[in-house]
Amino acid sequence: MSRLDCKSLLVAIVIIFGFVNLMVNYSNSTNQHVNGKENVLLLSNLEENDILVENSAPLLDDSIVASGDLRVAQDDIILLDYIRRKYLQPPATTGDVVVSKKDVHFGKSFEQQEMYRFIFRLLGNKTNGFFVECGAHDGEFYSNTLSLEMQHGWTGLLVESDPNPLEGLRKRNRRSWISGACLSPFTYPVKVTMQHKTMTGWTHLSDSGSHLGKEKDYRAFEAQCFPLYSILSAINVKTVDYFSLDIEGAELSILKTIPWNDIVIKTFSIEAHNETVNDFRNT
């Protein structure tokens, strides 16, 4: 995914202290009816600690998941099983990461190298951490996490819903989980229409991204979205050291879906354009 010129974007590095307190208050006041297990429709009679054997349970119908009517707990075990079986590719375990433009993307002055070094220092030169990168593109081009993985032993979750760069990402042999879904702006799964601007390279929800202009030349595609917490729960992750969020307009909506009492996210980088900065300030 291409980036705007540095002067036209604001990359917000948000540390968990302070910001999370704000999100916790929001989560407690607005999302209890969705996230509280006692108040939601459960999809089965299985107990929370029961272990699902692969392919042992009936798979959810795709149309139900896509409809937006599946209002279940974000960590409902049948939903998590559906995500594991249809929208997650496990990390590579053998071979090297396939890098095609190493001389460019690992240059000291490259923008993503500056981001990676800042996060690495902020976390005390942490090794073997866990990241989430939403807007992962092909896993190399403008990646905020590739150096953390290749040089410092990190792993993580790479989220990319656009089928074109996703094909390249799957061939990159990254040591991280890959999801071909998108992050839901709601606390439940839903299928949405995405637009990829062919001249600029931006990809965004069709009803967001007004700051990207009136370009008529775009490619539209459907994408199945899940809450971030659901995808992380599907791979049993409760602590994220670094969350890179770059989705051209729906960042705040996605952050509001996170049940902050149930997960720890230590640092963020959030690309917020001029049209969306006020949304963050008013939250």
Residue predicted with more confidence, 38 or 11: 11
Mean of the pLDDT values across residues 181-197?
A: 87
Mean of the pLDDT values across residues 137-146?
A: 90
Residue predicted with more confidence, 5 or 239: 239
Mean pLDDT is highest, among 8-17, 97-106, 192-201, 228-237, for: 228-237
CB 190 within 8 A of CB 107: no
Kindly give, in sequence order, each residue whose CB lies less than 8 Å from that of residue 215, ignoring residues fewer than 6 positions away.
Answer: 197, 199, 200
Residue 59 is given by DSSP the state P
Alpha-carbon distance of 63 to 80, in angstroms, equals 16
Mean of the pLDDT values across residues 250-259?
A: 91
Structure token digits, residue 172: 């990159």
pLDDT of residue 141: 84
Look at the pTM and tell me if it is higher than 0.85: no
Mean pLDDT of the chain: 76
Kindly give, in sequence order, each residue whose CB lies less than 8 Å from that of residue 263, ignoring residues fewer than 6 positions away.
Answer: 229, 232, 238, 239, 240
- Is 197 a residue whose pLDDT tops 80? no
Digit-coded pLDDT (tens) for 215-239: 556 677 899 999 999 999 999 999 9
Alpha-carbon distance of 229 to 226, in angstroms, equals 8
Structure token digits, residue 95: 């071979």
Vertex 166, ends 62 and 188: CA angle to 5°?
A: 35
- Is 65 a residue whose pLDDT tops 50? yes
pLDDT of residue 198: 53
